[in-house]
A and B are shown apart, each in its own frame.
Chain A
């Protein structure tokens, strides 16, 4: 439901059910930018899934702060929609790590949207980032994602990254579930946080 401009009311006007449903309920639930899901892991987990997403908003914005239990310096944060594990994802990554670099993935089973430290990364380093998905509720176009990520696993040269990612999910289905996956078959550590926002329409 798009945002509906709230009208002025005259002195003595009644507050009606229609006013509640349209201006309060409709605008707050679907017309503004609001969280639609939030998880802080109480135990390590390989995935975090937000399902039953409303199909009435203009875009999705996922934000996260996480670290992995993989015995490695770093691994990836991946994204999967509607539980689709087919080879339907392509992605491109540009990043700085003491120099400029790029990687890509074609016909992948999930989309790369971030990197994070593993257990051999420097203590207390947690990565963070966001991913934006416009027109997620469309039932007629492939979906595109845009992501940015701050990644650190050490305190000497070439142990920091800023990562920018774009990806496409080659499906015209409306996105109804949004899943973060930890790469390398590993888990996100306890305390990792994920929040998903819906962005309103007019």
Chain B
């Protein structure tokens, strides 16, 4: 599963099955930054990336979406392993127009990911961000992750938000599923989520 440095080949060397299996198949399938799943989320209110394999260094989730709910913006949180308990903490800083913004919350029922524009935001405005979680499969620690997100609510001053955020899950279990969701409505057409695994050596 880790990346294997590809050797040089001398003139006339034979291309072997082992070359294929180790240098090409294994490296391409599991040795790089590998996309593992992609979901077009139109009509869904929750996206479930399940059966996430262990053995990698980190997982990276990206989301670019819009909500059909009649609001200018909707929070898009996420749950791990389907856990709906009050086991998550969060902390963020960001900016809305010229206003600096921050908040924290403890023992909440979902972790942070991003927010997305709603149906009352400007047409065709999509938003979201990414989430990076190292050591997602380790069972000796609670999980933590960082997020960066952006979304636009209106076309006037203070109608945009950018945010850096930290998330925490009070659980020792290996993360095997990640589920971003919105509280009402569904994801609009063209909303898309990608999950990547980052490998080791």
Contacts and interface: CB of A to CB of B under 8 A. Distances in A.
B197 to A, nearest CB: 11
Interface string A122-152: 0011111110000000000000000011111
B33 A162 contact: no
Contact of A155 (B7, B32, B92, B107): B107
A24 B6 contact: yes
Interface residues of B, number: 56
B9 A17 contact: yes
B33 A130 contact: no
20 contacts: A20-B9, A24-B23, A34-B3, A34-B27, A34-B31, A34-B32, A34-B199, A36-B201, A38-B2, A63-B198, A65-B134, A67-B141, A97-B104, A124-B170, A125-B144, A129-B146, A149-B146, A152-B142, A160-B166, A195-B134
B104 A100 contact: no
Contact of A150 (B5, B9, B167): B167
Interface string B103-147: 110110000000000000000000000001111001011101110
Given A28-B23, A150-B146, A35 B106 contact: no
Interface in B1-17: 2-3, 5-13, 15
**Most chain A CB within a 10 A radius of its CB, from B28, B57, B133:** B57
Interface string B89-111: 11111000000101110110000
A63 B104 contact: no
Interface of B: 2-3, 5-13, 15, 19, 23-24, 27-28, 31-33, 57-58, 89-93, 100, 102-104, 106-107, 132-135, 138, 140-142, 144-146, 148, 164-168, 170, 172, 198-201
